[in-house]
Amino acid sequence: MDRILKSNNLTGWLLAAPLVLVLVVFLVIPVIVIVIVSFWQTTEFSIVPAFDLGNYEFLFGSAVTYDVFLNTFKYAFLTWAFTLGIGFTVAYFLAFHIRSQTTQIALALICTVPFWTSNIIRMISWVPFLGRNGLANSALLSMGVVDHPLDWLLFSDFAVILAFVHINTIFMVIPILNTMMRIDKSLIEAARDAGASGAQILWNVIIPLTKPGIMIGTIFVLTLVMGDFITVRFMSGSQSANVGRLISNDIGLLQYPSASATSVVLLLTVLVVVGGLMRVVDIRKEL
């Protein structure tokens, strides 16, 4: 009895039991249900069990699907590029240019506070800024940059990317800052003593050492953008689509089997992307 109690396996599983329970009931089983329902058929009033590949045939046979997936990748790539550029610069500034730890914490908190507020409100907040009569257009008109209001500021791909970057840059800032803070400052001094320029230090010392943080940020940003449906719907004014919107439209029409089939394909896509990234970085070690 004593031996069993002291065994790592038993205490480990007992402590992890609530986590396992929640993940099995609300993640594993639901995903299995989605996979099963993706083979079902839709009648006028309900969904009926079947083994029908029709949902997938329709999905892969439709040109819309490829467009929408392409669009999803486009959003993911552009958002990734901008959040990485901005997030890296902000983290670099906080890690290497701020000398007092208190200021560092305070500035990092300033970046994080909006993350703790509502994303939907933050999207709505862009309307008076980007609208036809919004602040951006008034400013551009009064400066004489344009002679008529720009229509593409709101309800466009531009607005979608802007909102994605606005909401998700924090997912780059924090992991990158976390890895940068662990860089041994003597490595940088050694590089400087050896005659490296600032740019060389950045490129040959800091960036390679920051890669794990960049990878973790990348995983967050890519999966959040690829799985999004609400930002695209709201910021594009329903004019653009990504895979998430395809799924949510089917759900709105009660076409659950079709929504499930699209979900399975989206899930596999996301898992392939994340699987590839996780080969490069050991998340547990880097936290």
Partner 1 sequence: MEPRPRSFYVLSAFFGLYVLFLYGPTITIGILSFQGPSGGLTFPMNGVSLNWFHELFKQQAVGDIWGSFSRSLRLGLMVMVTTVVVSVMGGLAFRKRFAGSGALFYLAIAGLVIPSILVSLGVGLFFSQAGIPVHWATSGFGAQLTWTLPFGLLVMFAVFNRFNPAYEEAARDQGASPWQTVRHVVLPIILPSLLGVALFGFTLSYDEFARTLLTSGSKNTLPLEIYGMTTNVTTPVIFALGTLTTLFSFVIIGLFLLTAWVLNRRRSRHGSDAGKGMV
Identify residues 110-169 at the interface with partner 1 (CB under 8 A).
110-111, 113-122, 124-129, 131, 133-135, 138, 166, 169
Q: Rule CB under 8 A: say whether 251 interacts with partner 1.
A: yes
């069990």: which residue's tokens? 49
Q: CB of 152: closest distance to partner 1 in angstroms? A: 17
- What span, in angstroms and rounded, lies between the C-alpha atoms of 156 and 220? 24
Q: Which is nearer to partner 1, 7 or 204 (CB)?
A: 7
How many residues touch partner 1 under the rule CB under 8 A: the total is 88
Q: CB of 27: closest distance to partner 1 in angstroms? A: 5
User: Which residue in the set 153, 159, 180, 226 belongs to the binding site for partner 1 (CB under 8 A)?
Assistant: 226
Tokens standing for residue 280: 């490069």
Within residues 65-94, the interface with partner 1 by CB under 8 A covers 86, 89-90, 92-94
Q: Which is nearer to partner 1, 41 or 125 (CB)?
A: 125
Q: Which is nearer to partner 1, 23 or 187 (CB)?
A: 23
Q: CB of 202: closest distance to partner 1 in angstroms? A: 10
Within residues 7-66, the interface with partner 1 by CB under 8 A covers 8-9, 11-20, 22-23, 25-31, 33-34, 37
Q: Which of 170, 169, 277, 167 is nearest to 216 (CA)?
A: 277
Q: Rule CB under 8 A: say whether 188 interacts with partner 1.
A: no
Q: Rule CB under 8 A: say whether 230 interacts with partner 1.
A: yes
Q: Rule CB under 8 A: say whether 261 interacts with partner 1.
A: no
Bridge partners of residue 47, in order along the sequence? 42
Q: Which is nearer to partner 1, 63 or 199 (CB)?
A: 199
- What span, in angstroms and rounded, lies between the C-alpha atoms of 131 and 161? 16
- What span, in angstroms and rounded, lies between the C-alpha atoms of 37 and 10? 36
Q: Which is nearer to partner 1, 53 or 120 (CB)?
A: 120
- What span, in angstroms and rounded, lies between the C-alpha atoms of 230 and 126? 14
Q: CB of 34: closest distance to partner 1 in angstroms? A: 5
Q: Rule CB under 8 A: say whether 242 interacts with partner 1.
A: no
